[in-house]
Structure 1
Amino acid sequence: MGIFEARTSAGPGRIIVTLTGECDLSAREHLTAILLDALTRAKAVFVDLAPLTFLDSSGVHSLITAHHAAKHTGGRIYVVNAAGPVAAVLDLTGVGALLRAPADEHRHV
């Protein structure tokens, strides 16, 4: 589909993964690898979706895969700053509620 980019940056006690563009089947393996790698470097991974314009079930799959991996290692993955169609997909699938960051943590991303 379109261009997709995942950038990581470190914050205090966390890794922030910022997703840009369109996340579809062509991005699934790359996104999953980025998220799983981030979980090896920090117990808390925040996925910033503000610049993301499209998310399909493949991207949701990557987020759920990372969520299960985090549970096995005592970590957490959160999604933040979702808007528009991306937020709608997360809400429809229940992933938005599952991976919602605590309010006091959300402001640090």
Structure 2
Amino acid sequence: MPNFEATTRQEAGHVRVTLAGECDLAVRDELHAVLETAVRTAPLVIVDLGALDFLDSSGVHGLVAAHLEAQSRGGRVALLNPSGAVAAVLDITGVGTLLGSVSDGKTAGG
């Protein structure tokens, strides 16, 4: 059983998706489903990565796919609380820059 959890919470003006544990190939379909639903629900999806310990290429792909879907709808996916190895993966791949970040639920940048 994978050590992964994705929870979604509707907040004022956006949906917050909190990821916890290890996001890898084993949970790819769950990640895609959660992010796809969130993108269809609100124009801004904030993905909180503070409790995420591991992110591999399938997780990166899920974030990029959600970004592209949100963009096609005039929306946005942004990141919150990336740290450690997860932040390093996002930096190395450029996905952290592509999606941008938020602070305390407010968008940083555009």
Separation (CA, whole Å) in 1 of partners of 2:68 and 2:9: 22
Counterpart of 2:24 in structure 1 is 24
- Unaligned ranges ≥5, structure 1: none
Instruction: Give yes or no for the alignment of 1:68 onto 2:58.
Output: no
What is the CA distance between 1:39 and its match in structure 2? 0.9
Separation (CA, whole Å) in 1 of partners of 2:104 and 2:2: 29
Aligned residues, how many?
A: 106
- Unaligned ranges ≥5, structure 2: none
What is the CA distance between 1:2 and its match in structure 2? 4.1
* CA deviation vs aligned residue, 1:59-108 (integer Å, no higher than 9, x gap): 0000011011011100100111000000000000000011112xxx5212
CA contact (8 A) 2:78 2:100 kept: yes
Counterpart of 1:107 in structure 2 is 104
Secondary structure at 1:29 match in 2 = helix
Counterpart of 2:83 in structure 1 is 83
Identity %: 51
Secondary structure at 1:69 match in 2 = helix
Secondary structure at 1:74 match in 2 = coil
Name whichever structure is richer in strand by fraction: 2
* CA deviation vs aligned residue, 1:10-59 (integer Å, no higher than 9, x gap): 11110000000000001111101100100111000000000000000000
Name whichever structure is richer in helix by fraction: 1
Separation (CA, whole Å) in 1 of partners of 2:41 and 2:8: 11
Alignment TM-score, normalising by the size of structure 2? 0.92
